[in-house]
Amino acid sequence: MKLSLLSLLATLALCGAASAEEINYEFVPNFLTPPAGKETIGNGHGEIAVDSAGLIYVSVQEKDAGIQVYSPEGKFIKALPLPSSLHGFVIHKNDEGEFIYAAVLGEGRFIKAKLDGTVVMEIPTTAFPADKIELEKDKKLHLTNCDVAPNGDIYIVDGYGLSYIFVFDKTGKYKTVFGGPVAPYGFKNTHKIFVDHRFTPARLFCCDRGNNRILHLDLDGKIIGVISDQGMRNPSSASFNGDLVCIAEIAGRVSVWDKEGKMVASLGVNDTKGQTNTPKVEPKDWQQGTVTSPHGITFDAKGNIMETEWNLFGRVLRWNRK
């Protein structure tokens, strides 16, 4: 598959050199209050999201606490008894209500759950095409994230495997697959994917972490163009607010980009050797306003940013838009 002339023009437009107006954010120290009896929220290797009521959901790797729920002010409310290896998730609202769509890394399956944690749908490993699973060295899926298209189709990425993107309809019936390590994609640790509604029609926003790039695909899997492949710090996750996208970069940065693909803010930059892309940075070594290993990220409705880290102790940072 070759990029068309239109795709090339789109890429050039996204990567234009014109400077963008800077957007300012203010760091909010000690935002989250951990559950009672805990000094930190717990082993973090997942995602963070906000529902329509402003409640904050953070995935943690603890038994019977796959997701912790906090108030908009950061006060702990409850833990949802979801799988502890739940890795990437989004909160999506449709005509039936508001649901959590999640990739369960350790079990190679997808789940859809109500906001109280009740699982209402599952896509098991057996629903995925066996020939793609057979390509894996350990013959297992390593699902890292998912999102939902406007028509209800569910996109799930095997981000710790071969980075194939699987598509299912809203009932969980398999439709197709694309992406992977082969040409023209050449994906490598495509950690998380999202449906980017800033464009019409909507498109896929792919955090191709191993290749240190962000790119757009259309919903049929055709490459639209690369948003950025220069100066990134291994993009791991993203969230959208208006025309902006914020990106969690696991090698030590949170960045904000406009719709034209220009960076408008750089937050929490950490250049200290041994403190990024690792889950082992202890609380005694944390610096206020400085990230370690950004892994998940979300905007709230006001455009404020919250970022959760790959960290054995669990850490969430917040920046409010000025």
**pLDDT mean by block of 10 residues, the chain; 322 residues:** 37 42 94 95 97 98 90 97 96 95 98 98 98 96 98 98 98 98 97 98 98 98 96 98 98 97 97 98 98 98 98 98 96
pLDDT at position 64: 78
Domain architecture of the chain: domains with CATH: 5-312+315-321 (2.120.10.30)
pLDDT at position 8: 36
Where do we find the tokens 């209050």?
33
The amino acid at 119 = V
pLDDT at position 16: 38
pLDDT at position 20: 59
DSSP per-residue letters across 131-195:
HHHHTSTTS-----EEEE-TTS-EEEE-TTTT-EEEEE-TTS-EEEEEESSSTTT--S-EEEEEE
The dihedral through the CA atoms of 300, 303, 235, 194 has a sign that is: positive
